[in-house]
Amino acid sequence: MKIEIWSDVACPWCFIGKRRFEAALASFPHHDDVDVVWRSYQLDPGLPEHFDGTELEYLSSRKGMPAQQVSQMFEHVAQQAKDEGLNYRFDKVVVANSFTAHRLIHLAAVHGKQDAAKERLLSDHFEHGKDIGSREYLAGLGRELGLPEDEVDELFTTDKYSDAVRSDFQEGQSLGISGVPFFVIDRKFGLSGAQPAETFTRALNQAWQEANPLVLVDSAEAGACGPDGCAI
């Protein structure tokens, strides 16, 4: 079973959704047969490489939201994150364009490190105040993930994986995705948002049953009991 997750590194609900999905997947009996693929999405592709201001100032000015409303939103999301074992620090978030970070995730996928890269980028952005648009940070993360240094350097000297990132954007649009996180199971089932773990569990079970229907082998000679008694 293949599960594709459209997500942005700069999306707070995406990290929460990742944790809830992981909780459901861990208890899913067939989790070893599930292939999880992270797809790129940007909430604000027009964001400058760096924004000179705080996350609160960014949302207030660029999105036209009152500062008080933004603060209340931060409190609500931070509590939801805390319930999943995450420690969001919106006061430390560095606002930066996530495009190159998505390219790093694609590079990591080539070396079997996609989920590890996604995890670190989300955690570093929301919990540790790292600059996800910084070449120094991304290069350092690449080294920590064990990615080839020359291939990481290519992210800053070429446009490698840019087409792959844009292709994810376009494919998401073709599927009607307008917000993230968005989970697509076998291109048949779609779940929008950071759903409760129980919802992911139901979706996994339903998708598995549809992909692997029970085949009934009937035999007239087999003994069986029913509402009217047992066969002799």
Region 104-115 average pLDDT: 98
Whether residue 227 is contained in a domain is answered as no
Residue 51: predicted pLDDT: 86
Whether residue 38 is contained in a domain is answered as yes
Residue 107: predicted pLDDT: 98
Region 206-228 average pLDDT: 73
Q: What is each CA distance from 223 to 29, 219, 229, in whole angstroms?
A: 30, 9, 11
Q: Residue 228 pLDDT > 70, yes or no?
A: no
Whether residue 84 is contained in a domain is answered as no
Work out the pLDDT band at 222, boundaries 50, 70, 90: low
Residue 99: predicted pLDDT: 98
Q: What is the number of H-type helices and E-type strands within the chain?
A: 9, 6
Residue 48: predicted pLDDT: 86
Q: Residue 219 pLDDT > 60, yes or no?
A: no
Work out the pLDDT band at 232, boundaries 50, 70, 90: low
Count of alpha carbons within 13 angstroms of residue 150, beta-carbon side: 0
Whether residue 132 is contained in a domain is answered as yes
Structure tokens at 94: 């560095």
CATH code (residue 191): 3.40.30.10
Instruction: Domain of residue 170: give its range.
Output: 2-44+98-211
Q: What is the pLDDT of residues 9-61, one digit of tens each?
A: 999 999 999 999 999 999 999 999 999 999 999 999 999 888 889 999 999 98
Whether residue 152 is contained in a domain is answered as yes
Whether residue 122 is contained in a domain is answered as yes
Region 72-79 average pLDDT: 97
What total number of domains does the chain contain? 1
Whether residue 207 is contained in a domain is answered as yes
Residue 78: predicted pLDDT: 98
Helix (H) or strand (E) holding 190: strand 189-192
Measured CA to CA, the distance from residue 70 to residue 12 in angstroms comes to 13
Whether residue 102 is contained in a domain is answered as yes
Report the share of the chain in percent with pLDDT over 70. 92
